[in-house]
Amino acid sequence: MNTEIASIAARLKAELDEASREELAAREDCGAVMNGPNGLPQPDGIHRIRQASARMNTALDKHLRALKRYLDFTKHGIRPED
């Protein structure tokens, strides 16, 4: 594997790893908002749940984009435009 291809693969893998960590953190945060200490939503419920859900959805979208870019390159040889 030449150095340019290895560099692209490493960059895409790093992006994928970071997106995966962000998604996991957003999921954990959403779970914490949804379930207070007694298993019920927090007192300021709806607003916090919507915010946490939006962050989780954004993180999931980023993770899926990173996964697609990584797989497109590693499995299909499609180079990212950037």
pLDDT in tens, the chain (82 residues): 589 999 999 999 999 999 999 999 999 998 888 776 666 665 667 788 889 999 999 999 999 999 999 999 999 999 998 8
Q: How far apart are CA 9 and CA 11, in angstroms?
A: 5
How many CB atoms sit inside 10 A of residue 39's CB? 7
pLDDT for the residue numbered 49: 84
Look-up: residue for tokens 């915010």?
51
Look-up: residue for tokens 């419920």?
45
Look-up: residue for tokens 């959403």?
30
Domain chopping of the chain, boundaries:
16-36+45-82
